[in-house]
């Protein structure tokens, strides 16, 4: 099965691989009803055959409650009708189920991979979820140029070249990339920058590039550096270091001290990379190490990423919805969802037996295109690696629990100070950014007890507010945020997970009495003023983090906190985050406006044609004044496009 979305039932090629059926909805109350859920499942069982596949349980609105796979759909789904054998968690799930969707696959391994895809897409509340919003960075050594470029890469691996990773964080990949540039002197610039150089850039001066752009190294010499980089990143670091040492000794014997010094610096860069590995993984090759720890009902999974015997960093995952789920099943679900984004290595080391371990290895191998072995290390370096991963997992989980306890305490104190009925689970913070009203942008950030929810952030391009009218801007933002929610207070089908249909427990406004009044006027017009707690936070008289921020209530009251209060620090952090996001959105909008051109308004004129027109005529105004024949003679502009440009500027004849 492909690692792309070709495995999805909604893919155009899906009909060739899967047969998806949707059961008829059972008319029942939206309230949990175990009998209604069992009846809906029994109706589905009647249509099933003993074939492998994936099933989805749906509630009354059609939202996905759970995604599961089965070797035999008929037998697996029928198990949910045997209430006595179900855990409390599964009984709650069945009581909310009102319909099912079925996808038949060719094998159980295909079903396992499709299950991971659907869990990632729907984020069902009864599945174990690997909650990690960031993609993993890689080092990419491109292969689409005579002088390959080395760079950091995130996202889909479409570019031709060699990918090395994953790295645990941007920091770890940046440090390694900087050292690799010193070690192998490979270029990191874009192709357009490379093609337009007539003298070496600063990177050549500081000995981090060999300057192939201006011929300081020929293609053969550069290819040798590329080969050494590939060897080093593939685990042959000792051989590369030994070769550099020989070259350095030879240069010293020949009294070529400048070359010897350059090779010495390269050797130091190699030593830096080796010295920053933190753990000994020599002889392990390509492997990922996973260890699970549990404390107080919480689970943490530590992952080490080993490539070519080098440690590319580690990351701790904290999966959600793990209550009443076996630890081995949790770890298996984490692996399956993790490798939905990252290509698996040939070796995966775990600290316990997994549910359907052989099937999981088969599914990962099918998606990766090479054999994958999952095993529990028993001795040697691999066993020591696992023990270190287990210690890290335990320590990371203990730190998280301590931090969570502190955050919960601060959240309770915040609720008490702001006179809320209970600690807020969703806090929305708002701010505007503009320069004398120009390019105005409103910003919303969201915070939960676990931290900032960056996937929920939203920016608003201000459309109707007058120049420099901060209050009007805030009114527009509030109306656009809450109008749909006021009209559909229970949510709309298909939007149950959208921020537009989620009620905040607290709205924080970066501003004082005037901003709060503007917000309240909008909420009163929408009829929801009593449903959304609103507080304004304005800088105190000293205008700094040391000053006492003033909290403004809708009834006109003002309150302050001691300058050393943890609650004040928390509120300042919330305010600073929305301020940062608003300024970033405003700068992006301003930068886009600076680079905009009147030519952008012409339909069918993209970047390449715009570039051709500007090269030929110099400015957009000259393009506007050009004769039709001149436009037709422009390289890269066809007669049809030239006519379209001319007509755009001469619509009136």
583: phi then psi, degrees, rounded to nearest 5 = -65, -40
- Tell me what pLDDT residue 595 has: 52
Q: List, as one string, the DSSP characters of 53-105.
A: EEEEEE-TT--EEEEEEESSHHHHHHGGG-GGGS-HHHHHHHHH--EEEEEE-
Q: Where are the beta strands (DSSP E) in 427-549?
A: 427-435, 438-448, 451-452, 458-461, 506-510, 534-538
Distance CA 499, CA 481 (A): 9
pLDDT of residue 52: 93
Tokens for 599, please give them: 């030519």
Q: Over 90: is that where the pLDDT of 617 sits?
A: no
- Give the CB-side neighbour count of residue 162, counting CA atoms within 13 A: 13
pLDDT tens-digit map of 142-188: 988 999 999 988 877 788 888 887 887 777 788 778 878 877 889 98
5 falls in which pLDDT band (50, 70, 90)?
A: very low
Q: With bands split at pLDDT 50, 70 and 90, how would you rate the model's confidence at 541?
A: low
Give the three-class secondary structure for 580.
helix
Model confidence band, residue 40 (pLDDT cutoffs 50, 70, 90):
very high
Residue 598: what pLDDT? 67
Residue 420 pLDDT > 80, yes or no?
yes
Over range 460-475, report the average pLDDT: 76
Identify the residue with better confidence: 207 or 447.
447
CB 56 within 8 A of CB 101: yes
Percentage of the chain modeled with pLDDT above 90: 31
For the stretch 237-252, pLDDT in tens is 666 667 777 777 877 7
- Averaged over 101-124, what is the pLDDT? 91
Q: Which residue pairs, CB below 8 angstroms and at least 24 apart, start in 371-375? A: 371/346, 372/344, 372/345, 372/346, 372/347, 372/348, 373/346, 373/347, 373/348, 374/335, 374/348, 374/350, 375/347, 375/348, 375/349, 375/350
- Dihedral of CA atoms 367, 373, 376, 379 in degrees, nearest 10, equals -140
Residue 89 tokens read as: 């968690």
pLDDT of residue 435: 59
**In this predicted structure, what is the pLDDT of residue 281?**
62
Identify the weakest region by mean pLDDT among 87-101, 268-282, 399-413, 562-576: 268-282
Q: CA-CA distance, 558 to 41, in Å (whole number)?
A: 56
Task: Return the exposure string of 219-254: e unless at least 16 CB atoms fall within 10 Å of the residue's CB, then b.
Answer: eeebeebbebbbbbbbbbbeebbeebeebbeebeee
Q: Is 39 left (phi over 0), alpha (psi -120 to 50) or beta?
A: alpha
Closest CA to 154 of 167, 145, 142, 144: 167
At residue 496 the predicted structure's pLDDT band, cuts being 50, 70 and 90, is: very low
* Distance in angstroms (rounded) separating the CA atoms of residues 260 and 262: 5
Summary mean pLDDT of the chain = 81
User: Among 37-46, 171-180, 353-362, 523-532, which stretch is predicted with the lowest mean pLDDT?
Assistant: 171-180
| Position 466 pLDDT exceeds 70 | no
Q: How far, in Å, are 21, 83, 107, 116 from residue 71 at the CA level?
A: 17, 21, 8, 15
Sole residue written with tokens 């292969």: 143
CA distance 63 to 25: 12
Q: How many CB atoms lie within 10 A of CB 312?
A: 26
Least confident of 19-33, 211-225, 406-420, 637-651: 19-33
Q: What per-residue confidence (pLDDT) applies to 11?
A: 43
* Helix residue ranges per DSSP H, 276-315: none
Angle, CA of 342, 208 and 211, to the nearest 5°: 105
pLDDT computed for residue 508 by the predictor: 94
Which pLDDT belongs to residue 590?
57
Task: Please give the average per-residue pLDDT across 182-196, as a whole number.
Answer: 87
Residue 309: name the closest of 266, 330, 279, 332 by CA. 279
Please write the tens of the pLDDT for every residue from 428-444.
999 887 655 556 788 89
User: What gap in Å lies between CA 396 and CA 317, rounded to an integer?
Assistant: 10
CB 38 within 8 A of CB 77: no
Residue 562 has pLDDT above 80, yes or no: yes
Give the pLDDT of residue 439.
Answer: 67
Residue 17 pLDDT: 44
Tell me: pLDDT of 487 over 80: no
Going across the sheet that includes 298-307, the strands are: 310-317, 298-307, 287-295, 347-350, 373-375
Average pLDDT on 598-623 reads 77
Which residue did the predictor score with more confidence, 530 or 303? 303
**DSSP, res 500:** G
Contact, 176 vs 188, CB < 8 A? no
Average pLDDT rounded to a whole number, residues 488-508: 65
Query: Residue 70's pLDDT is what?
Result: 93
Beta strands in 601-651, from DSSP E residues, in sequence order: none
Q: Is the pLDDT of residue 424 over 60?
A: yes
Spatial distance between the Cα atoms of 448 and 425, rounded to a whole number of angstroms: 5
- Which band of pLDDT confidence, cut at 50, 70 and 90, is reported for residue 426? very high
Phi-psi region of 419 (alpha: psi -120 to 50; beta: other; left: phi over 0): left
Residue with tokens 């010193």: 182
What would the pLDDT profile of 304-333 be if each residue is shown by its tens digit? 988 877 777 788 899 988 888 899 999 999
What does the pLDDT read at residue 2? 34
Band of residue 495 on the pLDDT scale cut at 50, 70, 90: very low
The count of residues in the chain is 653
- For residue 139, pLDDT beyond 80: yes
pLDDT, residue 537, reads 92
The pLDDT of residue 280 = 58
* Residues β-bridged to residue 69: 54
Q: Which two tokens stand for residue 464?
A: 């109707």
Residues 454 and 451: their CA atoms lie apart, in Å, by 9
Tell me the HSE value of 467 on the side-chain side, using a 13 A CA sphere: 3
Residue 630 has pLDDT above 60, yes or no: yes
Query: What element of type H or E holds 31?
Result: none
Tell me, what's the pLDDT at 528? 86
CA 516 to each of CA 484, 521, 528, 532, 602: distance values in angstroms, whole numbers, following the listed order: 21, 9, 15, 12, 43
Residue 91: its pLDDT value, please? 93
| Cis-peptide into 166, omega within 30 deg | yes
Is the model's pLDDT at 468 over the cut of 90? no
| pLDDT higher than 60, residue 614 | yes
Q: Please, what is the end-to-end C-alpha distance for the chain in angstroms?
A: 58
pLDDT category at 542 given cuts 50, 70, 90 is: low
Q: Is 650 or 435 the better-scoring residue by pLDDT? A: 650
User: Model confidence over 262-286: pLDDT tens digits?
Assistant: 777 766 666 655 544 445 566 677 8
> What is the predicted pLDDT for the residue at 497?
43
Cα(89)–Cα(643) distance, rounded to whole angstroms? 67
């Amino acid at each position: 099965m492909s690692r792309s979305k070709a495995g999805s039932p909604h893919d155009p090629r899906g009909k060739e691989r899967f047969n998806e059926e949707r059961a008829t909805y059972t008319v029942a109350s939206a309230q949990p009803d175990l009998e209604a859920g069992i009846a809906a499942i029994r109706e589905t069982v009647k249509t099933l055959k003993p074939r492998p596949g994936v099933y989805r349980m749906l509630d009354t609105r059609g939202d996905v409650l759970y995604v599961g796979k089965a070797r035999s759909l008929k037998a697996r789904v029928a198990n949910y009708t045997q209430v006595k054998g179900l855990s409390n968690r599964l009984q709650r799930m069945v009581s909310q189920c009102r319909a099912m969707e079925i996808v038949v696959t060719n094998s159980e391994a295909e079903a396992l991979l499709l299950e991971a895809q659907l869990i990632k897409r729907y984020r069902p509340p009864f599945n174990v979820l690997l909650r990690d919003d960031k993609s993993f960075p890689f080092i990419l050594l491109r292969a689409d140029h005579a002088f390959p470029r080395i760079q950091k890469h995130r996202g889909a691996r479409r570019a031709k070249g060699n990918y090395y990773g994953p790295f645990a964080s941007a920091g770890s990949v940046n440090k390694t990339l900087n050292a690799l540039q010193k070690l192998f002197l490979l270029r990191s610039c874009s192709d357009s920058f490379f093609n337009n150089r007539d003298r070496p850039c600063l990177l050549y001066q500081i000995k981090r590039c060999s300057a192939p752009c201006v011929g300081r190294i020929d293609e053969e010499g550069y290819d040798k550096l590329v080969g050494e980089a590939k060897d080093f990143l593939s685990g042959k670091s000792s051989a590369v270091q030994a070769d550099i040492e020989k070259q350095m000794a030879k240069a010293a014997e020949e009294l070529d001290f400048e070359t010897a010094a350059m090779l010495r610096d390269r050797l130091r860069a190699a030593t830096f990379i080796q010295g920053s590995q933190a753990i000994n993984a020599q002889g392990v090759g390509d492997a990922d190490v996973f260890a699970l720890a549990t404390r107080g009902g919480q689970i943490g999974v530590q992952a080490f990423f080993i490539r070519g015997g080098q440690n590319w960093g580690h990351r701790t995952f904290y999966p959600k919805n793990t209550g009443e789920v076996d630890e081995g099943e949790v770890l298996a679900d984490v692996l399956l969802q993790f490798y939905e984004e990252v290509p698996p290595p040939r070796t995966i080391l775990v600290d316990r037996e997994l549910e359907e371990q052989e099937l999981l290895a088969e599914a990962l191998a099918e998606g990766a295109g090479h054999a994958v072995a999952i095993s529990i290390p028993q001795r040697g370096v691999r066993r020591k690696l696992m023990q270190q991963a287990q210690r890290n997992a335990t320590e990371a989980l203990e730190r998280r629990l301590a931090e969570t306890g502190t955050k919960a305490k601060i959240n309770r104190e915040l609720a008490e100070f702001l006179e809320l009925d209970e600690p807020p689970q969703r806090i929305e913070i708002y701010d505007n950014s503009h320069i004398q009203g120009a390019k105005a942008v409103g910003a919303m950030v969201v915070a939960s007890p676990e931290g900032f929810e960056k996937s929920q952030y939203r920016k608003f391009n201000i459309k109707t507010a007058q120049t420099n009218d901060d209050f009007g801007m805030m009114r527009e933002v509030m109306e656009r945020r809450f109008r749909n929610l006021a009209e559909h207070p229970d949510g709309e089908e298909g939007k149950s997970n959208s921020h537009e249909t989620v009620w905040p427990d607290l709205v924080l406004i970066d501003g004082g009495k005037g901003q709060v009044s503007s917000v309240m006027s909008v909420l009163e017009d929408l009829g929801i003023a009593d449903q959304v707690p609103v507080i304004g936070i304005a800088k105190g008289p000293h205008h700094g983090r040391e000053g006492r921020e003033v909290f403004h209530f809708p009834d006109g009251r003002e309150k302050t906190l001691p300058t050393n209060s943890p609650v004040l620090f928390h509120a300042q952090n919330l305010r600073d985050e929305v301020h940062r996001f608003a300024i970033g959105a405003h700068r992006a909008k301003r930068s886009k406006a600076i680079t905009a051109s009147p030519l952008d308004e012409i339909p069918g004129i993209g970047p390449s044609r715009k570039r051709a027109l500007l090269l030929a005529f110099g400015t957009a105004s000259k393009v506007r004044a050009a004769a039709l024949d001149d436009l037709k003679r422009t390289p890269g502009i066809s007669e049809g496009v030239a006519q379209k440009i001319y007509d755009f500027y001469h619509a009136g004849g």
